[in-house]
Amino acid sequence: MSTATAPVPAPAPGHEEAGQATPSLARRTLNVFTDNKLALAGVVVLVLLLAFCYLGPLTHPTEQIHTSLGQANRGPGAAHLLGTTDLGYDMVGRLMVAGRTSLEVGLAAGLLATVFGTVYGAVAGYFGGWTDAVMMRITDAALAIPAMFLLVVVAAIITPTKGVLILIIAAVAWLSPARLVRGEALSLRNREYVQAMRMMGGGGARAVFKHIVPNAIGTVIVNSTFQIADAILYVSYLAFLGLSIPPPAADWGSMLSAGLTYTQNGYWWLIFPPGIAIVLVVAAFNFIGDGLRDAFEVRLRK
């Protein structure tokens, strides 16, 4: 005599084990990011540029300190794949050295601006009241002044070095993440877990660094990619105006500026390689930022 077996009810939504829910969420986030082909292309381009700048000199060593005017402005050939610069430097080797400066300054300035702007905006949004009013009026006043004007004035007064460029670019780039995170903090400070933390005696520092900033991390990460792209452009702008790191150091902006002097001579190899490199790295970071924005957007998760 057979007995019927009652069907086992499926677990209600939201009652999955913690060990299974987290990988599933991470997997869905990764799937959304990988669905964005431009974001994947941006990752590939960025990895290739990093390998070119940091691993390239190991396979293609060149002299990038002492000039050789006898080799100046030579066209592409077997000895120099992309020709030579107006000072006789090998163009491929110069792109590698200059790329290190542009990427390092851009990455460091973008991340520094994001970190400072995140903390600043989180503090202003969480505490609110007169604290928020004063901090945001400072931000509004700084935003009213054109960033390039400030950068040019400061770079003209102070001798540019890699550290100085990082600080002056970060000093004008933190305003955007500060406003974004402040908006997130205004919403997050009224959540139940923040209210519970207050009732348990938690202070403002704990609320900001343990609750506000971690829960705004999606906005922070996405914005950081755009900040890095903008910082790389700022480096190129300053170098194009002659306010970059003194020789023998170089960056892509200074290479482009020097190449434009020989436009009428037809020396295209002095212009196109650094220009294309700037476009590629900025586009790569922007595509990656778009992909991360989709991945962190809840309504786009499958």
Greater model confidence, 238 or 40: 40
User: Confidence band (pLDDT; 50, 70, 90) for 41?
Assistant: very high
Summarised one tens digit per residue, pLDDT across range 3-23 is 444 454 544 444 444 444 445
Cβ neighbourhood burial of 159 (10 Å; 0-12, 13-18, 19+): exposed
Greater model confidence, 281 or 35: 281
For residue 225, what are the contacts with CB-CB under 8 A and spacing of at least 6? 285, 286, 288, 289, 292
Question: Does residue 47 carry a pLDDT above 90?
Answer: yes
What value does the mean pLDDT take over residues 112-133? 90
For residue 56, what are the contacts with CB-CB under 8 A and spacing of at least 6? 92, 96
The structure tokens listed for 26 are: 């991470």
Summarised one tens digit per residue, pLDDT across range 74-116 is 878 787 788 888 888 889 989 999 999 899 999 999 999 999 9
| Residue 208, CA atoms < 13 Å, CB-side half-sphere | 16
User: For 88-158, where are the E strands, in sequence order?
Assistant: none
Supply the pLDDT for residue 12. 47
Greater model confidence, 262 or 298: 262
Supply the pLDDT for residue 117. 92
The sign one gets for the Cα dihedral 115, 118, 124, 128 is negative
Supply the pLDDT for residue 150. 82
Greater model confidence, 201 or 58: 58
Supply the pLDDT for residue 14. 44
What value does the mean pLDDT take over residues 253-277? 86
Mean pLDDT of the chain: 82
Question: Does residue 24 carry a pLDDT above 70?
Answer: no
User: Confidence band (pLDDT; 50, 70, 90) for 62?
Assistant: confident
Question: Does residue 247 carry a pLDDT above 80?
Answer: no
| pTM given for the model | 0.81
